[in-house]
A = this chain, B = another copy of it.
Amino acid sequence: MSESVAWVAVDWGTSNLRAWTIDATGNVLGSRTSPKGMGKLTREDYPAALADLLTDVPLDGPTDVLVCGMAGARQGWLEAPYLEAPTDLSGLIRGAVHPDSGSADLRVSILPGVCQRQGGDNVMRGEETQLLGLAATLPGYRGLVCMPGTHSKWAMLEGTRIAHFTTAMTGEMFELLSTHSVLRHSLGGDLSGEVRNEGFKAGAGDGLSHPADLLGQLFRVRASALISGREPAWCAGYLSGLLIGTEIAANRHQIGNDPVPLIGSHTLCALYAQVLEMAGATGRPVDATAVVLAGLKSAREAA
């Protein structure tokens, strides 16, 4: 006795594609995931990728599919031009574009991202929908929101309005340094052990204390291994802590007394919360999937 699908919510990122079928009262009926992220697709691949993902979904005639994320990038399915910050995210749906899905039953809308020119060029795609969802989850929240990841976003939210935002390349930097730099020789070991956590705290402390000297602090990972015999797990923790500490130090002045909502993976949010505490602030991990769904729902309701 399955409920019928009223619409489909889609988060189409660079690496993955996720879809949720939703009934008329807003309940999630089911979810699907595919590795067909924007990074692996040409423009022509999108209709089939979506159809494949939804192949077993029983549709009662033409159904809305609301998409956020990189599918709306210039190199995605169809470009959804950015809204420009400061902007009210409740207007996201008015910037949606409508690619041809190749099927009369799938009426696709792709939400725009947000760009910023005043106060520093910046862009986001996908996070704006999570922020709209956060505004629905924490009504009236005014303050900084941290979204840790490959490219961490820090957004100043005022209800559903995004005032300004920045992007820190922290996650990508960790990957680059771990994979390709001279530091890779010094890294390794258990991802969750005590030695790694010791290194993490030391790195976070150095990052919080000396954010202007990141280029110099980084080399200490290597030097610590060479002359102080630091273990690979300690060094890996140190590098992670140093980068997160440096990122948080750069944003510390914008953090008020409220806990900072953290939207991202559980592991990453826990690490950010740990460093926020070291900085005399507090983090409040928020379920990332819940807020993207809430955001798509809010956008749809504003239509």
Identify the A interface with B (CB < 8 A). 74, 82, 115-117, 120-123, 151, 166-170, 172-173, 176-177, 179-182, 211-216, 218-220, 222-224, 226-228, 243, 246-247, 249-250
Contact of A223 among B122, B211, B219, B226 (CB under 8 A): B122
Q: Which residue of B lies closest to A211 (CB)?
A: B212
Residues of B within 8 A of A249 (CB): 212
Contact, CB under 8 Å: A181 / B172: yes
Instruction: Establish whether residues B169 and A115, one from each chain, have CB atoms under 8 Å apart when the complex forms.
Output: no
- Let me know if A123 and B243 touch, CB within 8 A: no
**Which listed residue (B172, B215, B247) contacts A168, Cβ 8 A?**
B215
Residue among A166, A213, A250 with the most chain B CB within 10 A? A213
Determine how close the nearest CB of chain B comes to the CB of A243; give it in whole angstroms. Answer: 7
B213 near A250 (CB under 8 angstroms)?
Answer: yes
Is A227 a contact of B121 with CB atoms below 8 Å? yes
Q: How far is the CA of A82 from the CA of B223 in the complex (A)?
A: 12
Contact yes or no, B250 A220, CB < 8 A = no
Residues of B within 8 A of A82 (CB): 227
Q: Is the CB of A215 within 8 A of B243?
A: yes
Copies of this chain per assembly: 2
Closest 8 CB pairs of A and B: A211-B212, A121-B223, A167-B219, A168-B215, A213-B250, A212-B212, A121-B224, A166-B216
The answer for the CA separation of A172 and B180 in the assembled complex, in Å, is 10
Residues of chain B lying within 8 A (CB to CB) of residue A122: 219-220, 223
The answer to whether A215 touches B176, judged by C-beta atoms less than 8 angstroms apart, is no
CB-based contact B168/A176 at 8 Å: no
Q: How far is the CB of A166 from chain B (nearest CB, A)?
A: 5
Contacts of A172 in B (CB 8 A): 181-182
Q: List 17 A-B contacts (CB under 8 A).
A: A120-B220, A121-B220, A121-B223, A121-B227, A151-B182, A166-B219, A167-B223, A172-B181, A173-B215, A176-B176, A176-B180, A176-B181, A211-B213, A214-B214, A214-B215, A215-B247, A215-B250
Give the chain B neighbours of A181 by CB distance below 8 A: 169, 172, 176
Which B residues lie within 8 Å of A116 (CB)? 223
The residue that A218 contacts in the complex, of B169, B180, B219, with Cβ under 8 A, is B169
Please indicate which of the listed interface residues A151, A222, A223, A246 has the most CB atoms of chain B within 10 Å of its own CB: A223
Contact of A169 with B250 at beta-carbon distance under 8 Å, contacts A115-B227, A117-B228, A227-B82 already known: no
